[in-house]
Amino acid sequence: MKILRKRKIKRLFRKLIRYSNKIFDLFTAVASITDKRIKAQIPTVKIVAAMIIMYFTNQGSLNSLSQEIAFKKLKADIPSVSTIARTADTMDLEEIRAVGLAIYKKARAKKMLKPCYGMWVGVVDGHEQITSAYCKCKYCKKRIVTRKDGVKDTQYYHEFTAFILAGPKISYTLDIEPILPGEGEITSAYRLIERVCKNYPKAFSVVIGDGLYLKETVFNLLEKHHKYAIAVLKEERRQLFEEANRLSLLSKPETYRKKKTYYRVWEHSIKGCWDGYGKGVRVIAAEEATPKRVHSKDGKSFEDRLKQGKLDVGHKSTPFRRSL
């Protein structure tokens, strides 16, 4: 059983490599990546290949890659963990981005990537990458965490923002940008959005972010690049939030049902309620309710449990669908 599984993995792995080469010319493309080591003994492409294998085989770290037994034959080809780490530190990021762009272009030309509801949508969000009790580099952010026993520890971690081209089946990460120590997510996202708009000018027309991205700087930047912006409206943006709620009380929602869930959706055009952003926006308020028969507190009857609604804000001309 175990041998069969190993064989199957090997077969799938070979297929994956063949496919990557046939469709994307992957290992030729990554051969263009260089690094700044002096008198390097192992070519950069070998290091990149090792990292690709780490992702293909779903290994969480370089250490687990070097311990993976299913690829014993490959093992001799994989450089040491410290060599991979040291080389990765000095790799040319623009060359790596160029590989990403080349793959994207091929995938798009072959119609592998698909739009969402007829729109090409980018999603930007912050992610935490690693945490460690020891500081390893100048890009580490740090915070104090309280252990179960009450002792306070310093924890080091890395954060980055990612820009993902969202698709119904396949999503593609276009680029990432570190969130540096002392820096907020939006500062990093701003650099990321600028670069993605420059490198992928026609890849998407809408950019979606969470409540953090409801900022005039972000909306203005995207408008400059002729992109629509959508962000979650939270209560902190009080004036806009209250105006949207006020309008919802005054107007009739669109209603529809999808499977067991009922939706009530309002769409408002609001201007002048968002300080610093003079332009009009559209606010979509949605309430969803999935009636679930549960016993009421007295145990004698049933009542329906409801889910809380959510608000989204977009540029005035954002191509929202009412069914969103």
The contact set with Zn ion (CB under 5 A) reads 136-137, 139-140
Whole-angstrom distance, CA of residue 244 vs CA of residue 282:
9
C-alpha to C-alpha distances, 166 to 4, 101, 203, nearest whole angstrom: 36, 16, 11
Taking the complex as a whole, how short is the minimal distance between the CB of residue 159 and Zn ion, in angstroms? 10
Dihedral of CA atoms 132, 134, 140, 141 in degrees, nearest 10, equals: 70
Taking the complex as a whole, how short is the minimal distance between the CB of residue 174 and Zn ion, in angstroms? 24
- Is 131 or 239 the residue whose CB approaches Zn ion more closely? 131
Whole-angstrom distance, CA of residue 161 vs CA of residue 103:
21
Whole-angstrom distance, CA of residue 281 vs CA of residue 313:
7
Taking the complex as a whole, how short is the minimal distance between the CB of residue 158 and Zn ion, in angstroms? 6
- Is 101 or 180 the residue whose CB approaches Zn ion more closely? 180
- Residue 157 has phi, psi (to 5 degrees) of -155, 165
Taking the complex as a whole, how short is the minimal distance between the CB of residue 86 and Zn ion, in angstroms? 14
Taking the complex as a whole, how short is the minimal distance between the CB of residue 137 and Zn ion, in angstroms? 3
230: β partners: 208, 314
Whole-angstrom distance, CA of residue 274 vs CA of residue 251:
21
Taking the complex as a whole, how short is the minimal distance between the CB of residue 134 and Zn ion, in angstroms? 9
- Is 55 or 134 the residue whose CB approaches Zn ion more closely? 134
- Is 76 or 137 the residue whose CB approaches Zn ion more closely? 137
- Is 140 or 222 the residue whose CB approaches Zn ion more closely? 140
Structure tokens at 197: 């708009």
Q: How many CA atoms lie within 13 A of 30 on its CB side?
A: 17
Structure tokens at 78: 């994989």
- Is 141 or 215 the residue whose CB approaches Zn ion more closely? 141
How far out from the chain centre does Cα 318 lie?
A: 21
> Which residues have C-beta within 8 Å of that of residue 28, sequence separation ≥ 6?
21
